[in-house]
């Protein structure tokens, strides 16, 4: 199938490994000191790796590639993490994916009135990680953005 997938320019790659670390699916690995797309079917085509590359070695291309296989990715992550339970998902071990409410104190808002404070009230905010039955969705209006970093922006609610 022809689909959007990442491409890594080995000439530009400095071997830092930031993209491999950013790839939640394990599609990118380090081979002989350079980043390499290890498996097409592990690449979801969302590009979490792109902004982490300091040299601009990663880009999107449309080409013949195996379809993204979420089940294969989950199985690989279970094996990699030494977990055999089928209920363990790709993000189960990531501390950043744990559901939590964020309480902002009134004191911090009063002590620094000129300094903006994030209005984020729950985490995670990446829709792929958020439990659909989370209590903070009840009656909520959702803004779906391309990247969760936008929600950490202190004036997100005022500006957007």
Q: Does residue 86 belong to any structural domain of this protein?
A: no
Q: Does residue 58 belong to any structural domain of this protein?
A: yes
Residue-number span of the structural domain to which 46 is assigned: 2-80
Higher per-residue confidence, 111 vs 137: 137
Rg over CA atoms, the chain: 19
Average pLDDT over residues 76-87: 65
Higher per-residue confidence, 139 vs 136: 139
Residue 67 pLDDT grade (very low, low, confident, very high; cuts 50, 70, 90): very high
Q: Does residue 102 belong to any structural domain of this protein?
A: yes
Average pLDDT over residues 30-40: 93
Going by C-beta distance under 8 Å and a sequence separation of 6 or more, which residues neighbour residue 11? Answer: 57
pLDDT at 85 over 70: no
pLDDT of residue 40: 95
How far apart, in whole angstroms, are the C-alpha atoms of residue 127 and residue 16? 28
Which of these, 91, 86, 65, lies nearest to 75 by C-alpha position?
86
pLDDT at 6 over 90: yes
pLDDT at 122 over 50: yes
8 A C-beta contact, residue 7 and residue 59: yes
Residues 66 and 102 in one domain: no
pTM higher than 0.85? no
Domain boundary among 80, 106, 133: 80
Backbone angles phi, psi at 141, to 5 degrees: -100, 130
8 A C-beta contact, residue 28 and residue 20: yes
Residue 3 pLDDT grade (very low, low, confident, very high; cuts 50, 70, 90): very high
Residues 46 and 9 in one domain: yes
What is the number of other CB atoms lying within 10 angstroms of the CB of residue 72?
15
What 108-116 contacts at long range (C-beta under 8 Å, 24+ apart), as own/partner pairs, is 116/154, 116/155
Residue 134 pLDDT grade (very low, low, confident, very high; cuts 50, 70, 90): confident
Residues 75 and 140 in one domain: no
Domain boundary among 80, 108, 140: 80
| CATH code of the domain covering residue 63 | 3.30.70.20
Residues 111 and 147 in one domain: yes
Q: Does residue 14 belong to any structural domain of this protein?
A: yes
């Amino acid at each position: 199938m022809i689909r959007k997938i990442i491409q890594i320019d080995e000439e530009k790659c400095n071997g830092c490994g930031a993209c491999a670390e950013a790839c939640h699916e394990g599609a990118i690995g380090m081979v002989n000191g350079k980043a390499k797309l290890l498996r097409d079917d592990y690449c979801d085509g969302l590009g979490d790796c792109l902004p982490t590359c300091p040299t601009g070695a990663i880009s999107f291309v449309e080409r013949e590639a195996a379809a993204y296989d979420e089940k294969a990715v989950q199985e690989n992550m279970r094996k990699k993490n030494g977990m055999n339970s089928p209920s363990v998902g790709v993000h189960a071990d990531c501390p950043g994916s744990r559901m939590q409410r964020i309480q902002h104190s009134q004191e911090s808002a009063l002590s620094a009135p000129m300094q903006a404070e994030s209005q984020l009230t729950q985490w995670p905010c990446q829709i792929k990680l958020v439990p659909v039955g989370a209590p903070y969705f009840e009656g909520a209006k959702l803004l779906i953005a391309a990247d969760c970093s936008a929600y950490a922006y202190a004036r997100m609610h005022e500006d957007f």
